[in-house]
A and B are shown apart, each in its own frame.
Chain A
Amino acid sequence: MTVETRMAQMADPRIGSREMTYVEAARAGLDEEMARDSSIFVVGQGIGARGGNFTTTLGLYEKYGPARLRDVPITERGFVGMCTGAAATGSRPVVDFMFIDFILDALGELINQTSKLRYMTHGRVKVPIVLRGCFGLGGAAATHHSGSYYPFFAHLPGFVVALPSTPADAKGLLKMAIRTDDPVIFLEHKGLLNSRGTVSGDPDLLIPFGVASIRRHLAGHGKRVTVVAISGMVSKVLAAADRLAAEGIDVEVIDPRTIAPLDIGSIIESVRRTGRLLIVDEDYAPCGIGAEVAAQVVSDAFDYLDAPIKRLNANFTHVPYSPPLEAEVAISVGQLDNAIREAVHG
């Protein structure tokens, strides 16, 4: 049974905070939730005694045992279908795909069952399930282990898609995901796993869905631009903003944190202040998040725009292995700086 507890959006000041990595923060969040609610269980390959390929469950098996940290065979369709049934009947599964690429084997189940059950049952069945995995370019992981895929899920009704960019968000959004009564796709960029940050120990601090975070506010001088950055791109854009300040460019950086639901209001507010917009997303441009943000801004806030909206995405190709090829596909520092300059001056 779910134990009703406080859901806070502000940390309890009496509870301390601590520096930790992104993956440790998410793990702490999972641990706190599992301790609070015995209906939560995790499935995945190597998430039991081994502690997860990316250490997402390290130490939890010893605490919660095999029934709640369930190692599964390589049967993605099977365990997603099974967990959907479990979620529909009162437990709260967390499916850990390790690489999110492996979710693709389960798409039929996810889209036709997991996301539609609530709808088809006229709201009488809920499916509280978290589908988590690591994604993104880097480390010569090659074509089958470098995918992103999140726009698929944002395109469809029925899914929340969370893309935390900091350790604190990784914890707060995962806890929120676990407490949510709907399917949540929770995606961790591989490049962020070892990044560090301060994380509150407040066990009830949740980060709500559909609330963007302004990661960098306008300094008030220079040419203004809003940059919307997704997941692993946030820290890269922040570094670019620091560099470009010297050129008299004043960047406001928005991290939507969830792309479904999307906090378009915060983006439009920012565009009102800057008049210019660039969306930086490592996933592909066509039919992607940048296209969606641009369409909504043009439709709802056209008058605020002083210049065309720009997008910067990774190269529209499958992800190659060889480091120079991979680097070519990824967004480079030079491309990022130029894209911001173009959005300002173009």
Chain B
Amino acid sequence: METGSIVEWLKRPGEFVRQGEQLLIIQSDKAANEIEALESGYLDIPSDSPALGAEVPIGTVLGALLTEAEALARGLPIIAPDVHASKTSPRATSPKQVPSVSATGVTGASAVAYTRGAERDDVSLYREMVRIRKVEEALARSHQQGLVHGACHTYVGEEAIATAVCANLTIKDTIWSTHRGHGHALAKGVTARELAAELFGRETGCAGGRGGSMHLFKPEVGLMGTSGIVGPCILLATGAGYTSALLKDGRVSVAFFGDGASNNGAFHEGLNLATVWNLPVIFVCENNQYATEVPYATVSKQPDVARKADGYGMPGFVVDGNDVRAVWEAARVAVERAREGHGPTLIEAKTYRTRPHSEGMRDVGYRSVDEIDYWKSRCPIQYLRAQLVAEGVVPVAILDAIEHEIEEEARDAIAFATASGWPDASTAADHVVGWKAGELVGGAVR
């Protein structure tokens, strides 16, 4: 035998293959042979692997069996060994999809950018994270001055997640967010001016002042809304995925939500529907380890939200949410899966908020100063900056210039909000329904 061709792969990329299990069928000039795995590992079929049926010389590399860390580093949607599978019927395994349990495993993925799909632009990621940080800090100061009314939940410490996920989206893709949504809004294309004005309650805000911190909307850029209620964003994003599946419009939708939301029925119902209907949805759980003051460990025996994906037959990844490259890579895989019709993905980004739950709230008694300091030292912005500087690809001067530019942008946003007018009080009841009072009913409703 000098040449051969692949008839069929018996395993999927990312699937765990045990030593001795049949891996693929190869046609030689004599016969079709089932080839078994000589060792165990996760199957990688690289993009330059020969196509089915193509005649290739012996010695050609068709694929590789990787360790879990290597598989994660290549961005494979890994499918772990099925503990119930019997060795004699390897093809009968129902694939059991579980996430990586190591955040560090995925962290390494950034160094080995997988070949297909989008290019990562580190400078843009840096700029966006700095924008979120500086705008949030400016808003927090404004809250202290009484210029921002009501609650104000900042995204400080978690910037990498919205930044990296949204960098993989187009303007037509939709995102659905939470009470902690300023970062999502900015990353999806709400301007700093529109955000600040909204929190100041001004007519120039992204919801005309009627929303405030927890009710940000800009459907024109795919920000379908932040929410004062924990949970619904998961179902709403699932519904957006349904539209995309129905209309085949190529869009994907993303739900951002906290660890606290993962115990809500909306999470379980939404994930189940998204998998059974194979919807193009990405569920991004920002596990900052607390729901207000409640530690996640006290409300879930399963420390990894991502593992809950397994119960719904969906891949789930744990990523280091403070490593923007790692989140970017996980998001890229998830977006690609969704766009190619492979259905939803759950990404759990482990992270931390370094400010109080909401501005003005106490931040003691439920977590330690040491813990907060540790996470401050793991600042996602500083981390990327250190990487860029160490790699020597981006001059420090450029990074400094970005900081100054964004500082100016944040200052300008606050000035803009301060100078903006209040909404016209007579518009308070506009938009309750599409028709005007008196048009469909016999008189004023009030």
A119 at the interface (CB under 8 A from B): no
Interchain CA distance A143-B207 in the complex, whole Å? 12
B261 at the interface (CB under 8 A from A): yes
B120 at the interface (CB under 8 A from A): no
Interchain CA distance A323-B211 in the complex, whole Å? 11
Residues on the B chain within 8 Å of A324, using CB: 201, 422-423, 425
Q: Mark B221-262, 1 if CB is under 8 A from A, else 0.
A: 000000111110000000000000000000000000000110
| Interface of B (DSSP majority class) | loop
B427 at the interface (CB under 8 A from A): yes
Q: What total of A-B pairs shows CB separation below 8 Å?
A: 127
Query: Which A residues between 129 and 144 are near B, CB-CB below 8 angstroms?
Result: 139-144
Looking at the complex, which one of A105, A142, A286 makes contact with B228 (CB distance below 8 Å)? A142
A75 at the interface (CB under 8 A from B): yes
Query: Which one of B9-17, B78-86, B188-196, B289-297 is at the A interface?
Result: B289-297
Q: Are B265 and A77 in contact (CB under 8 A)?
A: yes
Among B227, B291, B300, chain A packs the most CB atoms within 10 A around the CB of B291
Closest partner residue, chain A, to B261 (CB atom): A74
Quote the shortest CB–CB distance from A236 to chain B (angstroms): 19
Closest partner residue, chain A, to B426 (CB atom): A328
Q: Are A316 and B429 in contact (CB under 8 A)?
A: yes
B33 at the interface (CB under 8 A from A): no
Residues on the A chain within 8 Å of B445, using CB: 286, 316
Query: Which one of A44-52, A201-209, A338-346 is at the B interface?
Result: A44-52
Closest partner residue, chain A, to B430 (CB atom): A317
Interchain CA distance A143-B426 in the complex, whole Å? 17
A304 at the interface (CB under 8 A from B): no
Q: Are A49 and B365 in contact (CB under 8 A)?
A: yes
Q: Mark B419-445, 1 if CB is under 8 A from A, else 0.
A: 000110111110010000000000001
Closest partner residue, chain B, to A321 (CB atom): B212
Q: Are B227 and A144 in contact (CB under 8 A)?
A: yes
Quote the shortest CB–CB distance from A272 to chain B (angstroms): 29
Q: Could you say which interface size class chain B belongs to?
A: 35 or more
Interchain CA distance A261-B207 in the complex, whole Å? 40
| Known contacts A105-B231, A144-B229, A322-B210, A317 near B150 by CB under 8 Å | no
Q: Are B201 and A74 in contact (CB under 8 A)?
A: no
Residues on the B chain within 8 Å of A305, using CB: none
Q: Are B423 and A325 in contact (CB under 8 A)?
A: yes
Interchain CA distance A101-B232 in the complex, whole Å? 14
A318 at the interface (CB under 8 A from B): yes
Interchain CA distance A93-B213 in the complex, whole Å? 33
| Known contacts A50-B293, A321-B211, A323-B201, A328 near B150 by CB under 8 Å | no
Looking at the complex, which one of B205, B211, B299, B300 makes contact with A142 (CB distance below 8 Å)? B211
| Known contacts A142-B150, A144-B227, A145-B228, A71 near B209 by CB under 8 Å | no
A313 at the interface (CB under 8 A from B): yes
Quote the shortest CB–CB distance from B211 to chain A (angstroms): 6
A327 at the interface (CB under 8 A from B): yes
Interchain CA distance A247-B212 in the complex, whole Å? 41
A90 at the interface (CB under 8 A from B): no
A107 at the interface (CB under 8 A from B): no
Q: Are B201 and A78 in contact (CB under 8 A)?
A: no
B446 at the interface (CB under 8 A from A): yes
| Known contacts A315-B446, A328-B428, A71 near B298 by CB under 8 Å | yes
Residues on the A chain within 8 Å of B425, using CB: 324-325, 327-328
Closest partner residue, chain A, to B200 (CB atom): A322
Residues on the B chain within 8 Å of A317, using CB: 428-429, 432
Interchain CA distance A328-B210 in the complex, whole Å? 12
Q: Are B228 and A73 in contact (CB under 8 A)?
A: no
B74 at the interface (CB under 8 A from A): no
A125 at the interface (CB under 8 A from B): no
A265 at the interface (CB under 8 A from B): no
Interchain CA distance A308-B275 in the complex, whole Å? 59
Interchain CA distance A71-B228 in the complex, whole Å? 20
A-B contact pairs, 12 of them (CB 8 A): A72-B299, A73-B263, A73-B294, A74-B231, A139-B149, A139-B150, A320-B211, A323-B149, A323-B201, A325-B201, A325-B210, A327-B425
Known pairs A75-B264, A324-B201. 13 more at Cβ < 8 A? Answer: A49-B293, A50-B365, A139-B150, A140-B149, A142-B211, A145-B228, A315-B428, A321-B150, A322-B201, A322-B202, A322-B205, A322-B212, A325-B428
- Ranked nearest first, the 4 interchain pairs of A and B with the lowest CB-CB distance are A144-B228, A322-B201, A321-B212, A140-B149
